[in-house]
């Protein structure tokens, strides 16, 4: 589990799981920012994810919102 106060922008992370309704092309990315209203991180993905709308259409997502406990730190700047 990652503490929200430990991750800074540009920290490299890997997602533990695929978010619901989204197909990841890449499990890795970097922290863009902490979203204060939800307490989740905005993770800029290395490759856009595919979001599946209810009507069957798809959309590329360059970033996803993830809780800290769904992130594994790959590299943190000192």
Q: What is the mean pLDDT of each run of 10 residues along the chain (78 residues)?
A: 69 92 95 91 97 95 94 81
Give the contacts of 71 (CB within 8 A, at least 6 positions apart).
2, 7, 13, 14, 15, 16, 41, 43
Query: Exposed/middle/buried for 42, CB within 10 Å: 0-12, 13-18, 19+?
Result: middle
Q: What are the structure tokens assigned to 33, written together?
A: 């920012």
Instruction: Determine the pLDDT at residue 18.
Output: 86
The per-residue pLDDT for 20 is: 83
Angle CA 49–16–14, to nearest 5: 65
Whole-prediction pTM: 0.85
CA 27 – CA 34 distance, rounded (Å): 19
Q: Rounded to the nearest 5°, which phi and psi values hold at 69?
A: -75, 0
């Amino acid at each position: 589990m990652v503490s929200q106060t430990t991750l800074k922008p540009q920290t490299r992370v890997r997602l533990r799981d695929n978010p619901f309704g989204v197909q990841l092309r890449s499990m890795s990315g970097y922290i863009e920012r902490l979203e204060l209203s939800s307490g989740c991180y905005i993770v800029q993905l290395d490759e856009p994810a595919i979001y599946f709308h209810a009507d069957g259409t798809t959309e590329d997502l360059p970033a996803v919102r993830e809780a800290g406990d769904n992130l594994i730190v790959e590299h943190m700047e000192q």
